[in-house]
Chains A and B, each alone.
Chain A
Amino acid sequence: MALGATFFLAIQYVAEVGWSAVIKRPLEAMGQSLPVAGIIMIVILAFGGRSLYHWMEEGITDPNAPNYDAILAGKSAFLNPLFFWIRVILYFAIWSYFARFFRSNSLQMDASPNVAAYLKNRRFAAAFLVLFAVTESLMSWDFIMSLESHWYSTLFAWYTFAGFFVTSLAALAFIVTYLQHRGYLKEVSEHHLHDIGKFMFAFSIFWTYLWFCQFMLIWYSNISEEITYFMLRQDHYRGIWLAAFFINFIAPFLILMTRDAKRKKYLLMFMSAVIFIGHWLDFYIMVVPGSMVTASHHATAHAGAGAHGGHELIYGSIGLMEIGTTIGFLGLFAYITQLYLSKSPLVVKHHPMMEESLHHAI
């Protein structure tokens, strides 16, 4: 959500968007949790990387080791621990740096009409978009696709992007409507809400498009190395797998279709919660089945069975553990976002496009 918000903010600068000037502060505050997220991610990977990623195992690329895996040895130019760690640290360094940079320049616009700060942000935003395109693709392969390290999908980076970007738009809608509910952000009118709603609607459809593209091509070609991904999900996670698709497609499609729906504050708030839950399920489906395969492999290895294959698969399910972890991280995100929201005025005081944004009408 933090990364998606920073990306959205960078687009607003590069495209010199007028209407969004009043919602830039929530976007900036959302991006501030990136450094914390980075530290947590690095801690998790440092202690639990080997339980999550099959390719991190000792001796997996060694032809003489009992657990040698020719496919993973072929991928080891990219999937090796050293390069992986360099990438992970680079991602979070780049993202955190830009999120803080955009905010610090925007704070300068509070004191005086500082167009130089705006232009500086615009230049850096262009650079960020290029870096984002690269880091986001690599990130989705590193963190999620390599959970099932034999499987690959060329569409996966896009698919991940669509998923988390629509989630961050939903979070933005939720934060903006919540602030309005509490009597803040009076500058945001139903026209702004309409625009945020349109983005949510459009990217839900975009996500569905990519979901279907990925699914149909793999389903149609029916190649064993690709189809395993969907077979695992269809056979053992069918409920969640289908629920994610329907919640993320049918619900926004039917409810957010009309013009009036996008303009009602509380309906938008409700839909952002629905989209959040739907995409949480989608990420669950992306992450858990693969990591449980690795986990079952470890469980068998510990039991003494040793090498590849022949182990019992264990499957994930949604219980208190999953829900609690989600609420914990959500709370951390909400806390950091509110902390940074409360530190500065809720709208940029001397934003060059503020006048245009206040009179935004569609």
Chain B
Amino acid sequence: MSAKHKKFVYGIFKDDEVVMNAIPVLKSQGLRVKDVISPFPIHGLDHALGLERTRISITCFLYGMTGCSLALLMMYYMNIFDWPMDIGGKPSYAFYKNLPAFIPVTFESTVLCAAHGMVITFLLRSKLLPGVEPHVIHPRMSDDHFVMAIQITEDSEAANVETKLRAAGAVETIK
């Protein structure tokens, strides 16, 4: 993600249990374990890494509210304001009295905006848009290998970190 600005050493692991056991060991040695890239979800990984809660649920709420209000506004304009409709044989022409008929569309629009908004946000944040060259650390990292990212400040730290990673069970290290 921000590999261009910050320096990382990557350890490649073959087994999820080795990764899970290595995290507390490496942390106790003073290494900054920033992230683990895994081909499948590992239970308890977030907790072990001490990751902050994702903010994607906040964006989900905002996109959902956008979709909800857009849909209601659209239907208000179309069916009540611009061309008053006799809905379900009940010519009340009032927004709140016709609300039950608007709920399905509102619901669909909320879900549509929330889902698409979340996916697009995620792709933008991960720099994974079509046409963007993805940042592949190891060719097998989303296949059957696990990548652990350790942040370093000076290039001279790298050798030390690599030794520690190998001691903790990494089969390969990448600077």
Contacts and interface: CB of A to CB of B under 8 A. Distances in A.
Contacts of B87: 220
Interface in A309-362: 361-362
A222 B44 contact: no
Given A216-B100, A216-B101, A361 B43 contact: yes
B44 A221 contact: no
A contact residues, range: under 10
A108 B170 CA distance: 48
Given A220-B88, A222-B90, 11 more contacts: A215-B100, A216-B100, A216-B104, A219-B88, A220-B87, A220-B100, A221-B88, A222-B89, A361-B43, A361-B44, A362-B43
Nearest to A360: B43
A216 B103 contact: yes
A contact face: mostly helix, strand, loop, or mixed: helix
Interface string A190-224: 00000000000000000000001001100111100
B86 to A, nearest CB: 11
Contacts of B44: 361
A258 to B, nearest CB: 9
Contacts of A216: 100-101, 103-104
A323 B42 CA distance: 49
A87 to B, nearest CB: 35
Interface in B23-58: 43-44
20 contacts: A212-B100, A212-B103, A215-B100, A216-B100, A216-B101, A216-B103, A216-B104, A219-B88, A219-B100, A220-B87, A220-B88, A220-B100, A220-B101, A221-B88, A222-B88, A222-B89, A222-B90, A361-B43, A361-B44, A362-B43
A212 B43 CA distance: 37
Contacts of A361: 43-44
Nearest to A222: B89
Contacts of A215: 100
Nearest to A220: B88
Nearest to B104: A216
A282 B100 CA distance: 19
Contacts of B43: 361-362
Task: Please provide the 8 A-B residue pairs with the shortest distance between their CB atoms, ordered closest to farther.
Answer: A220-B88, A216-B100, A222-B89, A219-B100, A361-B43, A222-B88, A361-B44, A220-B101
A283 to B, nearest CB: 23
A265 to B, nearest CB: 20
Contacts of A220: 87-88, 100-101
B88 to A, nearest CB: 4
Contacts of B88: 219-222
B60 to A, nearest CB: 11
Interface in A206-263: 212, 215-216, 219-222
B99 to A, nearest CB: 10
Interface in B45-90: 87-90
A37 to B, nearest CB: 36
A362 B45 CA distance: 10
A362 B44 CA distance: 7
A361 B90 CA distance: 53
A19 B89 CA distance: 51
